[in-house]
Structure 1
Amino acid sequence: MTTAEPTPRPVRAEAGELVDVTFTVNGTPATLKLPARVTLSDALRDHLGLTGTHVGCEHGVCGMCTVLVDGQAARACLLFAVQLDGAEIVTVEGLGKPDELHPLQESFGRNHALQCGFCTPGFLMSSYDLLTGKPDVTPEELPAELSGVICRCTGYRNIVTAVRETQESFPEGIPAPGNCGTRALAGRATVRVGDERQETEAVAEPVSTEIALPDGEPTIAVEVATGVDVESGRVWDVFDDVHLLASCLPGAELTEELGADTYAGRAKVSVGPVKLKFDGVARILEHDRSAGRLRVLAQGRDTGGAQTQAAIELRTEATAGGTVLHADAKVYLTGRIAQFGRALAGDISRRMFEQFAAAVATAATSGRAPEGPVKPPSALKLMLATLLDRFRRRRR
């Protein structure tokens, strides 16, 4: 007669104790130190920068936070991250690439199956789970099968149509998620333990040095001009020094020279609750002091998958009192940053260019970088400045 081994008691974690948890997210291994009470949704959003997983009710009712855990749909707000040590997790960011969407994402867009977009990640992941686990679901069953996610905009009709269309297009089964592969997750996570704040660090995903602008119209096109009380030759002394020029860009920092007029750097943008940190590269295409023209291509990516690409042309025009700086930019945005309306994005661009011009004037006068980083405009200043501009236009 053998005696069964006693079942080991679970290890108890104290309230302020950090617990190591390792799982694979969208094909990438990730290890975090987290308090035991941190939910999977918070771990994904706050510590890995994957904000496509939305949080609505935090009771498992609305379905906004649906992700795949070991191939099965699960509510990320109802799971503690430490429960998932060793698990395979797929979020909506892993479903498709910005330039190569998953068929479900394409169908949602084609059938207008989203309006505000808040429930969309939950519907996409739930629909993927449904069509994977029950590929022969009937049209009559679809509304009930999709009722686990709540939408307050579209009335569900277009959502059901999009899912049905995808099912009909792939009778043998829908394709697997197309954006899962080993890459570095990015970001700095701040963990609060009791009254103390502790930080975890992750490595940013490398940004390709190959810069190619998308086809089609840019998200925003900005043409700005502002005058500075400095003669153009001294302005170009700043433009000739790439490190000095980079120090004048609001929220930007030059980190590495890559050769062939290509540079790596990072930039921060913060507007209200939206805080983005981009790692990117820029290439100087033209640097013509005699013609007064500087052309640059740039691209960057933040921790949550937001991407920006831009073609920027700076021109100087000598005047009797100084120099007029002109900036023409075509900017392409995807991800969270694209949630900004065109008017707001334009206002941000104009305010940042005004700050840049002022910093250039200071550097041209002093011959050295501005003291401290040039901070991008705050949400409050943007709002007040925009209202003031509109008031002035109405008076005129």
Structure 2
Amino acid sequence: MTLPKSYERTEADQSVEVTMTVNGSEVSLSLPARVTLSDALRDHLGLTGTHVGCEHGICGMCTVLVDGEAARACLLFAIQLDGAEITTVEGLGRQDDLHPLQESFGRHHGLQCGFCTPGFLMSSYDLLTHEPDVRREDLPAELSGVLCRCTGYRNIIDAVDEVAQAHRDGLPGPGNCGRRTLVGRGTSGSSGSSPAEAEPAARPEETARPEEITLPEGDPTVRIDVTSQLGSAPEDVARVFGDIRLLARCLPGAELTDDLGEAWYRGRARVALGPVRLTFNGIAHVLEQSGERIVMRAQGKDTGGGGAQAGIVMSAVPAEGGTVLEARADVFLTGRIAGFGRSLAGDVSRRMFEDFARALDRAAAGEEAGPESRPPGAFSLLFAALLERVRARFGRRRRGVPRS
């Protein structure tokens, strides 16, 4: 595989446009020439199922299909693949309709710790597609290009052999390749999508205001449902609901930077999770706003290629002694921040909403947010979430409840 002549003199940090089809969706990216396919998939498109291990092409964790053939994503530059068709483990099957290989791995306990699983699934798919008559005794050698450190080879061999025996006449193709919305630096869509549908996911802080914010299909990374009791009267909460700038200041690390008119806003949010420091620049659209209810959608990206999109609904319900704030959100994360896992990301997000409720209560009472009253940063939220988990597990052990 060679580079186009126009790329031969490209500097390492110079961005190059590349278009490829990933899991059935055409995706356009602007990337530095040295970005590998694995990094483009993980950090720019949010497809973190492609794992990165040795980054030397030895361990096989990053195996994907390029034009139907198995390839090491860590050994390919993304710009080499202009016009190529890429299939990752996310394209193999859906949660409600798994591929036979995925079902068999689960049935035979071939998952182990899970780190090698995507590589084994994609390598096994490539093997059974090209050699449907492979014999069981040949599988250890055929699959030796993917390394497992959990000594789980026997179960993996059982899983692959079962699928091979059941599909001698042909292995079913990937079942999750079709129109998908990808969050990240690239634009995505199917052959029937319009540029207006794709553009919001590209570079929201550098483009004109989009027609709408379209959330990804499928389950969100985090689903939040928080109810908080506020001491402020409903009319005072309604005053904060009616002031978007004041409302934004109640969210930890958030800042409104521009009013684009017609209920569109630009802003940024800063998050620090230990050594990972992220600044999301993005855009928000308020779809409904009254003294009792706010509905909005937002999306943004950080400089490292991670992305976030959210659909948020907040309601202020009069209650005895004050107001009940109900907040619901579907949050889609990609890139580094998504690597913290759904459960932990959910804990952090819920705590941020709880702190948001306390800050909103203070704002409704007329207090000006200052350094001493600002909600705690994301690192303390993460620490609190971890501490809560430790306490919960310790409590279960003391009560004799088995660990999950």
Question: By the TM > 0.5 criterion, same fold?
Answer: yes
The residue aligned with 1:136 is 133
CA distance in 2, matches of 1:381, 1:134: 51
What secondary structure sits across from 1:187 in the alignment? coil
CA distance in 2, matches of 1:162, 1:299: 35
Q: Which amino acid aligns with 1:358?
A: R
The residue aligned with 1:46 is 43
Q: Which amino acid aligns with 2:364?
A: A
Query: Quick check: 2:35–2:77 contact (8 Å CA) kept in 1?
Result: yes
- The Cα of 1:67 is off from its aligned counterpart by 0.5
User: CA 1:174/1:65 → structure 2, altered by over 3 Å: closer, same or farther?
Assistant: same
Q: Percent identity?
A: 49
- The Cα of 1:52 is off from its aligned counterpart by 1.7
Query: Quick check: 1:66–1:76 contact (8 Å CA) kept in 2?
Result: yes
| TM-score where L is the length of structure 1 | 0.66
CA distance in 2, matches of 1:337, 1:384: 15
Query: Quick check: 2:51–2:61 contact (8 Å CA) kept in 1?
Result: yes
Q: What 5-or-longer segments of structure 1 have no aligned partner?
A: 1-7, 190-199, 307-334
Q: Deviations over 1:139-193 (max 9, x none)?
A: 111222111111112521222222223334434322211221234432238xxxx
Q: Which amino acid aligns with 1:360?
A: L
Q: Which amino acid aligns with 2:297?
A: G
CA distance in 2, matches of 1:38, 1:389: 37
Q: Which amino acid aligns with 2:286?
A: E
Query: Quick check: 1:64–1:121 contact (8 Å CA) kept in 2?
Result: yes
Query: Quick check: 2:50–2:63 contact (8 Å CA) kept in 1?
Result: yes
What secondary structure sits across from 2:137 in the alignment? coil
Aligned positions, number? 331
User: CA 1:86/1:233 → structure 2, altered by over 3 Å: closer, same or farther?
Assistant: closer
CA distance in 2, matches of 1:365, 1:25: 50
CA distance in 2, matches of 1:220, 1:264: 15
Say which of 2, 18, 22 aligns to 2:15: 18
User: CA 1:164/1:248 → structure 2, altered by over 3 Å: closer, same or farther?
Assistant: farther
What secondary structure sits across from 1:178 in the alignment? coil
User: CA 1:185/1:55 → structure 2, altered by over 3 Å: closer, same or farther?
Assistant: same
User: CA 1:49/1:376 → structure 2, altered by over 3 Å: closer, same or farther?
Assistant: farther
Q: CA RMSD in A?
A: 4.6
What secondary structure sits across from 1:127 in the alignment? helix
Write the mapping of 1:1-396 to structure 2, written as runs, cut at 5 A: 12-16=8-12, 17-188=14-185, 201=202, 206-207=214-215, 230-233=231-234, 236-237=237-238, 241=242, 243=244, 248-250=250-252, 254-257=284-287, 263-266=295-298, 277-283=307-313, 288-290=317-319, 292-293=323-324, 295=326, 297-303=328-334, 336=339, 338=341, 340=343, 345-346=346-347, 348=348, 351-366=351-366, 377-379=377-379, 382-383=382-383
Q: Which amino acid aligns with 2:318?
A: R
User: CA 1:84/1:33 → structure 2, altered by over 3 Å: closer, same or farther?
Assistant: same
Q: Deviations over 1:77-121 (max 9, x none)?
A: 111222222111111122222343322223222332223322111
CA distance in 1, matches of 2:113, 2:350: 27
User: CA 1:350/1:15 → structure 2, altered by over 3 Å: closer, same or farther?
Assistant: closer
